[in-house]
Amino acid sequence: MHASAARQSRLDASHAQATRLEAITGRYDGWLLGACVALAGLGVVMVASSSIAIGEGLDVGPFYFLNRHLMFLALGVGLAVWAMRTELKTVEQYNQLLLIGCVLLLLAVFVPGLGDSVNGARRWINLGVSNFQAVEAVKLLYIVWLSSYLVRFRDEVNATWPAMLKPLGVAVLLVGLLLLQPDFGSSSLLLAITAGMLVLGGVNLPRMSLPIVIGLPVFAFIAILEPYRVRRFTSFLDPWADQLGSGYQLSNALMAVGRGEWFGVGLGASVQKLSYLPEAHTDFIFSVIAEELGFAGVCLVVGLYALLVGRAFWIGYRCVGMRRHFAGYCAFGVALAISLQAFVSIGVNLGILPTKGLTLPLISSGGSSVLMTCAALGLLLRVSYELDRAERQVARLRGESAPAPEPMPPRDKPARSKVPATAQPAPTNANPAAARGTSRLRQRVEPTMGRIA
């Protein structure tokens, strides 16, 4: 009867402790949230500044692109809030469906009536009210699937060839579908994300080097098969050789960057955006920032991206340290996607990379990019929330499991032993190790009585 009551008491205590732990909530990372809001706010200002002349030239009104950007940003915030309120374990359990979704989205662009072609490329899905670029969703879904795969096969990825080659094979399949559209820039980005996540997931680096050594020449050969890609590469090396032809975009972008000098010509005072710089509100918005805000504005943008990406990597590192590997790999994947895309976009605008059609995350105008970037950042914020919640729960457990200190008897009134002094065994030096292991606290709490002089 007594044992049953004790067992019930322990169960009640365990249930009460679990209830207290479930009541603990987390907090979203403030630095991460601040960087996201700052980049989104700067994007609204720069889209408004860079798109007025374009809207008037197309007879759609000066604020058409701004209103469109605000609409997609509002939808993106809704997606981000939904992702921030969704448990990661719920997301993880649908990992196989997410991979199937990647393949279906890339195949949907080839379906007549559903896929839409723009400038000879079939990259968009016609939703009626707007077009959606499928690869933007594929990047996020693929990151979540790969994170789940690295959790399920963490040891095998580091030890066996098949486990390492499977995600590479999936990436090659998706890249093949992207090259049929064609979309060489997104293909490169997807392969880079895959390689980065495998390395961060603990893959054997010497074994990983073999697919890279074989894949790079093949990918370079695919790149030079199309003449327009060769022209982009040669014009990137010397845009002034054909300033009105293949080097037109880059030469105007460089002129915009050069006019900005230290503090820019002033917000709204850019000349290159007045129908000189193509895609001034999307692919080349960074050049407009450099012209209007100068070197200071460039440093601000780069600093905000460095803060966002650095914080994301730090959150992922802490998650892995707490054995929350899925959350950590998701953070790594989102950080890689945003950093690589921002690096390529900025590099193209500054003339250090060949021209590619990649937007600047959270800043450039573009419905698909804005929507899925917001969703990815919502997932990242959810990771920070669950990490903070887990740290608080661990702190609570450690605080509750700490034993209560033993009361110390007053020094002026030493504790009396109920055993007569004559019955107390005399101390002996037969076991010096045990004597050395006795702590001072124990000697104070349990003083030896009747010691023989």
Q: How confident is the model at residue 442 (pLDDT cuts 50, 70, 90)?
A: very low
Average pLDDT over residues 130-159: 92
- Cα 148 to chain centroid distance, Å, stands at 15
Q: How confident is the model at residue 440 (pLDDT cuts 50, 70, 90)?
A: very low
Predicted pLDDT of residue 341: 95
**How far apart, in whole angstroms, are the C-alpha atoms of residue 352 and residue 332?**
25
The answer, yes or no, to whether residue 425 has pLDDT greater than 80, is no
- Cα 32 to chain centroid distance, Å, stands at 10
Higher pLDDT, 24 or 414: 24
215-241 residue pLDDT tens: 888 888 887 877 777 777 777 788 888
Mean of the per-residue pLDDT values of the chain: 84
The answer, yes or no, to whether residue 193 has pLDDT greater than 90, is yes
- Tokens at residue 400, please? 């509750």
Count of C-beta atoms within a 10 Å radius of residue 164? 21
In a domain, 31, yes or no: yes
**How far apart, in whole angstroms, are the C-alpha atoms of residue 324 and residue 317?**
10
Q: Taking a C-beta distance cutoff of 8 angstroms, is the pair 333, 37 a contact? A: no
Higher pLDDT, 173 or 401: 173
Q: How confident is the model at residue 451 (pLDDT cuts 50, 70, 90)?
A: very low
Predicted pLDDT of residue 452: 38
Q: How confident is the model at residue 121 (pLDDT cuts 50, 70, 90)?
A: confident
In a domain, 16, yes or no: no
- Phi, psi for residue 133 in degrees, rounded to 5: -85, 115
Q: Taking a C-beta distance cutoff of 8 angstroms, is the pair 68, 61 a contact? A: no
Average pLDDT over residues 241-254: 86
Q: How confident is the model at residue 418 (pLDDT cuts 50, 70, 90)?
A: very low
The dihedral through the CA atoms of 343, 345, 348, 354 has a sign that is positive
In a domain, 409, yes or no: no
The answer, yes or no, to whether residue 416 has pLDDT greater than 50, is no
In a domain, 428, yes or no: no
Percentage of the chain exceeding pLDDT 90 = 54
The answer, yes or no, to whether residue 117 has pLDDT greater than 90, is no
The answer, yes or no, to whether residue 90 has pLDDT greater than 70, is yes
18-53 residue pLDDT tens: 567 677 888 999 999 999 999 999 999 999 999 998
Q: Please provide the size of the chain in residues.
A: 453
In a domain, 435, yes or no: no
In a domain, 423, yes or no: no
Percentage of the chain exceeding pLDDT 70 = 83
- Cα 166 to chain centroid distance, Å, stands at 22
In a domain, 73, yes or no: yes
Q: How confident is the model at residue 95 (pLDDT cuts 50, 70, 90)?
A: confident
The answer, yes or no, to whether residue 87 has pLDDT greater than 90, is yes
Q: How confident is the model at residue 448 (pLDDT cuts 50, 70, 90)?
A: very low
Q: Which of 12-21, 93-102, 130-139, 176-185 has the lowest mean pLDDT?
A: 12-21
Angle between helices 248-260 and 285-321 (to 10 degrees): 80
Strand (E) or helix (H) holding 125: strand 121-126
Q: Label residue 135 exposed, middle or buried (CB < 10 Å: 0-12, 13-18, 19+).
A: buried
Predicted pLDDT of residue 267: 93
Predicted pLDDT of residue 400: 63
Q: Taking a C-beta distance cutoff of 8 angstroms, is the pair 257, 291 a contact? A: yes
Higher pLDDT, 20 or 177: 177
Q: How confident is the model at residue 181 (pLDDT cuts 50, 70, 90)?
A: confident
Average pLDDT over residues 140-160: 92
Give how many domains the chain has, as a whole number: 1
Predicted pLDDT of residue 287: 95
Order of strands, sheet of 121-126, starting from the edge strand that comes earlier in the sequence: 115-118, 121-126, 131-133
Q: Taking a C-beta distance cutoff of 8 angstroms, is the pair 282, 306 a contact? A: no
Domain that holds residue 120: 27-397
The answer, yes or no, to whether residue 402 has pLDDT greater than 70, is no
264-320 residue pLDDT tens: 999 989 999 988 888 899 999 999 999 999 999 999 999 999 999 999 999 999 999
In a domain, 282, yes or no: yes
Average pLDDT over residues 389-397: 89
- Give yes or no for a cis peptide into 182 (omega within 30° of 0): yes
The answer, yes or no, to whether residue 412 has pLDDT greater than 60, is no
Which residues face 115 on adjacent strands? Answer: 125
Among 402, 229, 383, 411, smallest CA distance to 311 is for 383
Q: How confident is the model at residue 378 (pLDDT cuts 50, 70, 90)?
A: very high
Q: How confident is the model at residue 10 (pLDDT cuts 50, 70, 90)?
A: low
**How far apart, in whole angstroms, are the C-alpha atoms of residue 46 and residue 234?**
30
